């Protein structure tokens, strides 16, 4: 026991009995014996280990455990906090922990141990791969994440003891990009803000110091004004017959202020909502009663009212937010909620333990939609870094609330589109999306949705995700689904190409080819299935010679070996030619035939749309084409497409002009000369109408794009013999 007394003396903080008493204060049925054994086990396991600060290492798990008692967490979680570093940093084993504390604690410690490797040890894929482990672990039991967040919070509070500035900044960056958003997602506002502010101090110390000084000045100067506002709000509540539990003003954190200054590009002095006033009441009806009193007394600021009680956030947050012109013509933000809502707003998922007698609360992370969506992204993402990128998209955003036609709420990031909405409803709906109605009107798929929009997704069984969607979707789920489809399509093309290469190779050597022949060589060429072989041959990462020799046990004949890549090269060349001659249009369905509409002659630079035409594939029209009216009742046939760079090539497209020429000598020659001088080429010419003084021509001209055609039009209009000229759709 000497070790115990020495450690506690050096720490000068939390004693064993203090920790146990704290847990007993909110859980009278606590297993005191298990807590005491865990305290001693961890202290002895860590022994003489020290932290960068010079304190005994055991001070860290005790601080983590004590913090979690403030969230009133169960005994198993507190024990896990005490033991969370023992398997990673000492000779203790999971079997020992299970023998002493049971399977539940073993599972939690194992989960946190895996997450301990999340600290940045190298950039890139290693961090991303470890983050995958975090998602899986927290989906099984959210208490793992709570312990890890408390662990990170204490580490951030002592981060200044680490000598390497680069390491401090890497850890701070990881904290602000991963852990703070996770804390927000489980509703732990206080935890999120503390993690952000501690990271802010490491990443931008001068900016934070400047804001802190301004806040100190504002606090001194504005104290009387804050008290005046609180007094007026108290009077309003009394007049309305509402007895508030609490009425106070909360100053925003330096990081939150800095982010608002950055996003709005305004100086500190122009921010009007540095202090938010909060009214806590007993019941939900009193929330609206208090709101009515505030709105009756002050002018409201349009667009600044949000009712998160009737429409809670994804993380369970509920409150009423409103901004008004308060006393002294000052803009103030007022938040109104019940005590239970406040506890959940501050402590999120952890607060549910305090209300567990009244709630059917589970520790399984899969009960949360956002956790399930992260798991879905994990299943669709082969690349760990892509998974991390898409996950950050899911965690970083303001929210808009939209509705299905049945009235179900779909919560999306700001700037989300109907495609994001479709994938949020269901992956199958997103994949088959061909159009959307917002508030009863058909809109482009890249339209940004607003709060309160009712969205009706139009689907077609023949539709597939368009690669063009990736340019405007903002949710990780939508992006991962689109990328998965693109990868699948690309793989299918490689498989087809690989089969053609092998078939031709075998035929040249006098052998018949079949896919079944590849089954016997899978292990020797280290592939799992036949399609892997075909895809790698098509992609060029596996040689056709290698496959042939593996199948027949001999090499190709001498003639073939002199130029072993002829077949692949020719096939590759054909493939490359096909790509280089492909139409420079984004959003096409791979493999489907395409042609330009003869009614409007679209050329690069025109706004275009694709129409699925039976037996013809996709027909490209200009947005202004009158023919599109014929398809207004068939939105499932519309495909959103756009031009892209031709990549250095000089393809030609046919644009049609209608021109009126004076009936005089050399008029036609003048027209031809202008077109030639501007670099165009007449493809076809037809006289549409003739009179004694004028004649109308329809001229098809080969041009590079819409600007090129416009230059030709400008050149023609400068000639006296040209009475009129315009683009012609018909």
Instruction: Answer yes or no: is 359 within a domain.
Output: no
Whether 381 maps to a domain, the answer reads no
Task: Answer whether residue 99 shows pLDDT above 70.
Answer: yes
Poorest-confidence range of 16-30, 368-382, 464-478, 613-627?
368-382
Residues 669, 599, single domain; the answer is: no
Which is more confidently placed, 336 or 615? 336
- Considering the domain architecture, whether residues 185 and 270 belong to the same structural domain is answered as no
Look at residue 576 in the predicted model and tell me its pLDDT: 29
Over residues 530-557, the mean pLDDT reads 77
Stretch 616-633: mean pLDDT: 77
pLDDT class for 78, splitting at 50, 70, 90?
very high
Based on the residue annotation, tell me whether 88 is a catalytic residue of this protein. Answer: yes
> What is the band of 269 on the pLDDT scale with cuts at 50, 70, 90?
low
What's the average model confidence in pLDDT over 602-624?
78
What is the CA 600 to chain-centroid distance, rounded? Answer: 38
What kind and span of H or E run contains 275?
Answer: strand 275-281
Does 148 lie in the same domain as 264?
A: no
Q: What is the mean pLDDT of residues 556-583?
A: 38
Instruction: Indicate if 532 belongs to the active site.
Output: no
Which of residues 585 and 443 earns the better pLDDT score? Answer: 443
Three-state helix/strand/coil letters over 416-464: CCHHHHHHHHCHHHHHCEEEEEECCEEECCCCCCCCCCEEEEEECCCCC
Tell me the C-alpha distance between 3 and 57, whole Å. 13
- Within-domain flag for 677: yes
Q: Is the pLDDT of residue 355 over 80?
A: no
Residue 553's domain comprises 484-580
CB atoms < 10 A from the CB of 174, how many? 18
Average pLDDT over residues 224-234: 86
- Between 15 and 62, where is the model more confident? 62
Q: Which of 27, 88, 140, 307 is catalytic?
A: 88
pLDDT value of residue 282? 93
Domain annotation covers residue 622: yes
Q: Is the pLDDT of residue 619 over 60?
A: yes
* 197 & 222 share domain: no
The verdict on 623 and 674 lying in the same domain is no
The stretch 27-56 carries a mean pLDDT of 88
Angle at which helices 16-26 and 32-46 cross, to 10°: 150
For residue 335, give the CATH number of its domain: 3.30.460.10
pLDDT digit string, tens, across residues 132-160 = 555 665 656 778 888 888 999 999 999 98
Q: Within a domain: residue 364?
A: no
Task: Identify the band that residue 592 occupies on the pLDDT scale cut at 50, 70 and 90.
Answer: low
> What is the phi-psi region of residue 381: left when phi exceeds 0, alpha when psi lies from -120 to 50, beta otherwise?
beta
For the segment 565-570, the average pLDDT, to the nearest whole number, is 36
For the cut 70, the answer to whether the pLDDT of residue 567 exceeds it is: no
Cβ contact 195:202 at 8 Å: no
Instruction: Flag whether pLDDT at 560 surpasses 90.
Output: no
The average pLDDT across 487-513 equals 81
Specify whether 63 is located in the same domain as 133.
yes
- Is residue 131 domain-resident? yes
Say if residue 136 is in the same domain as residue 165: yes
Gap between the Cα atoms of 335 and 315, Å rounded:
17
Q: Give the C-alpha separation, 313 to 307, whole Å.
A: 10
Tens of pLDDT along 327-348? 877 788 899 999 988 888 877 7
In a domain, 341, yes or no: yes
Catalytic site residue from 32, 55, 89, 481: 89
Mean of the per-residue pLDDT values of the chain: 77
Q: At residue 357, does pLDDT exceed 50? A: no
Q: Residues of the chain with pLDDT > 70: what percent?
A: 78
Residues 115 and 163 in one domain: yes
Say which range, 11-20, 388-397, 558-567, 590-599, has the weakest mean pLDDT.
558-567
Tell me the per-residue pLDDT of 236-267, one tens digit each, with 9 for 90 and over: 999 989 899 988 888 788 888 887 777 666 67
What pLDDT sits at residue 421? Answer: 92
Shared-domain flag, residues 181 and 265: no
- Residue 118 CA to chain centroid, in angstroms? 20
Compute the average pLDDT of residues 190-202: 90
Do 575 and 697 lie in a common domain? no
- Residues 365-387, mean pLDDT to the nearest whole number: 51
pLDDT at 62: 92
Q: What is the CATH number of the domain that holds 681?
A: 3.30.70.260
What pLDDT score does 292 carry? 92
- Between CA 581 and CA 647 the distance in angstroms is 11
- Specify if 475 maps to a domain: no
| Low-confidence winner among 120-129, 493-502, 571-580 (lowest mean pLDDT) | 571-580
Q: DSSP character for 177?
A: I
Domains in the chain, number:
5
Q: Residue range 624-640: average pLDDT?
A: 75
Same domain? 569 vs 661? no
Residue 335, SS3?
Answer: strand
pLDDT at 365 over 60: no
Q: What percent of the chain has pLDDT over 90?
A: 11
Specify the length of the chain in residues.
730
Say whether pLDDT at 559 is over 60.
Answer: no
Cα separation, 70 vs 189, in Å, equals 15
Could you tell me which residue, 700 or 467, shows the higher pLDDT? 700
pLDDT over threshold 90, residue 284: yes
Considering the domain architecture, whether residues 328 and 245 belong to the same structural domain is answered as yes
């Amino acid at each position: 026991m000497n070790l115990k007394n020495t450690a506690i003396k050096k720490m000068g903080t939390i004693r064993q009995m203090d920790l146990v008493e704290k847990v007993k204060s909110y859980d009278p049925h606590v297993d005191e014996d298990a807590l005491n054994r865990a305290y001693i086990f961890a202290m002895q396991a860590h022994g003489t280990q020290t932290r960068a600060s010079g304190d005994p290492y055991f001070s860290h798990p005790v601080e983590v455990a004590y913090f979690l008692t403030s969230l009133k967490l169960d005994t198993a979680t507190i024990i896990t906090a005490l033991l969370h570093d023992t398997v990673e940093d000492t000779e203790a084993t999971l079997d020992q922990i299970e023998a002493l504390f049971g399977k539940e604690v073993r599972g939690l410690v194992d989960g946190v141990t895996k997450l301990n490797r999340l600290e940045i040890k190298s950039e890139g894929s290693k961090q991303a791969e470890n983050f995958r482990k975090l998602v899986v672990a927290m989906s099984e039991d959210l208490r793992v994440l709570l312990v890890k967040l408390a662990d990170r919070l204490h580490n951030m509070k002592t981060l200044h003891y680490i000598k390497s500035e680069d390491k401090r900044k890497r850890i701070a960056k990881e904290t602000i990009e991963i852990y703070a958003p996770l804390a927000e997602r489980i509703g732990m506002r206080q935890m999120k803000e503390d993690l952000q502010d501690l990271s802010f101090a490491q990443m931008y110390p001068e900016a934070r110091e400047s804001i802190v000084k301004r806040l100190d000045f504002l606090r001194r100067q504005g104290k009387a004004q804050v008290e005046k506002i609180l007094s007026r709000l108290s009077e309003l509540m009394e007049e309305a017959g509402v007895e508030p539990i609490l009425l106070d003003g909360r100053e925003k954190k330096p990081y939150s202020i800095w982010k608002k200054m950055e996003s709005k590009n305004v100086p500190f002095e122009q921010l009007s909502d540095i202090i938010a006033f909060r009214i806590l009441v007993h019941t939900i009806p009193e929330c609206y009663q208090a709101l009515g009193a505030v709105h009756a007394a002050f002018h409201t600021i349009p667009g600044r009212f949000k009712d998160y009680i009737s429409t809670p956030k994804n993380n369970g947050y509920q409150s009423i937010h409103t901004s008004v012109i308060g006393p002294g013509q000052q803009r103030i933000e007022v938040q109104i909620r019940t005590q239970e809502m406040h506890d959940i707003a501050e402590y999120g998922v952890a607060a549910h333990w305090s209300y567990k007698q009244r709630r059917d609360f589970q520790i399984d992370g899969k009960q949360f939609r956002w956790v399930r969506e992260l798991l879905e992204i994990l299943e669709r993402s082969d690349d760990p870094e892509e998974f991390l990128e898409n996950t950050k998209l899911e965690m970083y955003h303001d929210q808009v609330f939209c509705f299905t036609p049945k009235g179900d709420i779909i919560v999306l990031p700001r700037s989300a589109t109907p495609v994001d909405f479709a994938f949020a409803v269901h992956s199958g709906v997103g994949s088959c999306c061909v159009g959307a109605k917002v508030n009863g009107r058909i809109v482009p798929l890249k339209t940004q949705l607003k709060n309160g929009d009712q969205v009706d997704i139009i689907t077609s069984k023949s539709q597939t995700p368009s690669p063009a969607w990736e340019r405007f979707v903002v949710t990780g789920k939508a992006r991962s689904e689109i990328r998965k489809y693109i990868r699948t399509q690309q793989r299918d093309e490689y498989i087809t190409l690989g089969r053609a290469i092998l078939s031709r190779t075998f035929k040249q050597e006098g052998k018949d080819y079949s896919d079944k022949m590849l089954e016997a060589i899978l292990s020797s060429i280290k592939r799992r299935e036949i399609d892997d072989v075909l895809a790698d041959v098509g992609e060029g990462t596996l040689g056709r010679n290698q496959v042939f020799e593996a199948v027949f046990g001999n090499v190709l004949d001498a003639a073939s070996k002199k130029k072993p890549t002829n077949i692949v090269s020719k096939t590759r060349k054909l493939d490359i030619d096909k790509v280089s001659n492909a139409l420079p249009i984004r959003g096409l369905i791979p493999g489907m035939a395409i042609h330009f509409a003869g009614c409007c002659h679209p050329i690069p630079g025109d706004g275009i749309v694709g129409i699925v035409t039976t037996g013809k594939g996709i027909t490209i029209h200009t947005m202004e084409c009158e023919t599109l009216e014929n398809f207004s009742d068939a939105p499932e046939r519309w495909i959103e497409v756009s031009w892209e760079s031709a990549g250095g090539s000089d393809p030609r497209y046919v644009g049609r002009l209608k021109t009126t020429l004076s009936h005089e000598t050399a008029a036609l020659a003048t027209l031809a000369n202008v077109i030639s001088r501007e670099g165009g080429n007449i493809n076809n010419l037809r006289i549409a109408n003739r009179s004694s003084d004028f004649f109308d021509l329809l001229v098809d001209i080969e041009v590079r794009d819409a600007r090129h055609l416009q230059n030709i039009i400008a050149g023609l209009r400068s000639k006296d013999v040209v009475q009129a000229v315009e683009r012609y759709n018909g």
